[in-house]
Amino acid sequence: MILSISGVVLLGIIVFLFFKKDGLKASHALICALFGFYMAGTAIAPSISAGGASLAGLLGEIKF
């Protein structure tokens, strides 16, 4: 993988700053998509996937 973990951390910081400071613009959405793409190639990807599935299951159990 060409992009190292430090690159993923840098993209994560940039995404956080975009949300915190300016809102989400088209260029920011592209950075977010790149961050997600490269994050999927790291060792933490299975944990993120499991967490997302767990959250979806939890939200699916809520009855109104």
Q: Which two tokens stand for residue 52?
A: 């997302």
Q: Can you list the positions of beta strands (E) in the chain?
A: none
- Band of the pLDDT at 2, cuts 50, 70, 90? low
- Write down the pLDDT at residue 64: 72
Q: pLDDT for 25-63, tens place per residue?
A: 777 777 777 777 777 777 877 887 787 788 788 878 887
Domains of the chain, residue spans: 5-61
| CA dist., res. 54 & res. 60, Å (int) | 10
Q: What is the DSSP string of 7-59?
A: HHHHHHHHHHHHHHHT---HHHHHHHHHHHHHHTTSTTHHHHHHHHHHHHHHH
Q: Stretch 8-19: mean pLDDT, rounded?
A: 77
- Write down the pLDDT at residue 7: 66
Q: At what angle do helices 26-39 and 5-21 cross, to 10 degrees?
A: 150
